[in-house]
Structure 1
Amino acid sequence: MTKFLLAVHVLAAIITIGPVTVAASMFPAAARRVLAAPEDARSLAEVRTLHRICRIYAVIAVVVPVFGLATARSLQVLTSPWLLTSMALTAAAAAVLAGLVLPRQAAALAGLHGDPDARATSAVQRAAVQQAAVQRAVRQLAMYTGVFNLLWATVTVLMIVRPGSTTGA
């Protein structure tokens, strides 16, 4: 049973977290392309698709820690420091994704769709405010996506190296 749980855990991580990591990393550059050429419907569709991938796979990725905990319980390593650290980093990565990456993607997408700031009075002012807001969201998004990716890379290394593990790896 342990091998089955571990296999599902690893496959779920690859199949769900991989696409989120890639799509989140591609989003800032795609959003910048839309800013550079607002009339390009294909680039806007790409940004929408990347955001949708991030949202959907983030929800599905809940399977990863569920099977990870089941595997850890089966291996009787729930109190191991490397696992506790991995769990904390996983929670941090989920918080970064849900609290920082996805909302900024949504904000950038809304701005790219032409959701102008009501405080600006002229069309030119609205366009400038909108572009500045999108550029700010994209800059922040690139940083937060990097943090998200770094957290997952650290979790992956911990899962492979497992300091103090008794499995001989």
Structure 2
Amino acid sequence: MTKFLLSVHVLAVIIAIGPVTVAASMFPAAARRALAEPGADGDRTVLRTLHRICRVYATVGIVVPVFGLATASSLGVLGDAWLIVSIVLTAIAAGVLVLLVLPRQGRILAALTGTTPAPEGTQRMSARLAMYTGMFNLLWVAVTVLMIIRPGSTTGA
């Protein structure tokens, strides 16, 4: 059962978190291009697609911690420090995505599509979005490293 849970957990990371990190990373550069050339519909279409990928896969990404906790429970490592740190970093990454990345993507999209007036400093908002996206990605790197290294692991890895 542990192998099944671990397999689903790893597949969920690849299928859900991977697309979010790539799409979120692509969004700021596409936003800068669209803001520099407001009449280009292609850039807005790309931005809408990237934002949708981030929203949908963020929702699907809930499977990752669910199966991660189930795997940790079956392995008996729920109290290990590396796992607790990983859980905290995962929660922070989710918070960065939901509270900082997705809302800013939405605001930039709204400004570009004309549904709301373009706020002052939209270019600056794009730069901050790039920073928050980088933080999100670095948090996932840290979690991945902890999952591979697992301090105190008995596997010898």
Is residue 142 of structure 2 the alignment partner of residue 154 of structure 1?
yes
**Residue ranges of structure 2 left out of the alignment (5+ in a row):** none
**Residue ranges of structure 1 left out of the alignment (5+ in a row):** 118-129
Cα distance, 1:137 vs structure 2: 1.7
Structure with max Cα Rg: 1
- Give the alignment's TM-score, normalised by structure 1: 0.90
User: 1:121 — aligned with what?
Assistant: none
User: 2:40 — aligned with what?
Assistant: 40
RMSD: 1.1
- Give the alignment's TM-score, normalised by structure 2: 0.96
Cα distance, 1:139 vs structure 2: 1.2
Which string of whole-angstrom CA distances, capped at 9 and with x for unpartnered residues, describes residues 32-55 of structure 1? Answer: 111121111111100000000000
Match of 1:35, SS state, is helix
Structure 1 stretches of 4+ with a deviation exceeding 6 A read none
Q: Is contact 1:20-1:54 (8 Å) kept?
A: yes
Equivalent positions of 1:133-148 (< 5 A) are 133-148=121-136
In the comparison of the two structures, how many residue pairs are matched?
157
Q: Is contact 1:105-1:137 (8 Å) kept?
A: no
Determine the C-alpha separation between the residues in 1 that align with 2:122 and 2:103.
12
Equivalent positions of 1:9-158 (< 5 A) are 9-117=9-117, 130=118, 132-158=120-146
Cα distance, 1:131 vs structure 2: 6.4
Cα distance, 1:115 vs structure 2: 3.8
Q: 1:131 to 1:36 in 2, by over 3 A?
A: farther
Code of the residue aligned with 2:51 in structure 1: it is H
Determine the C-alpha separation between the residues in 1 that align with 2:119 and 2:136.
25
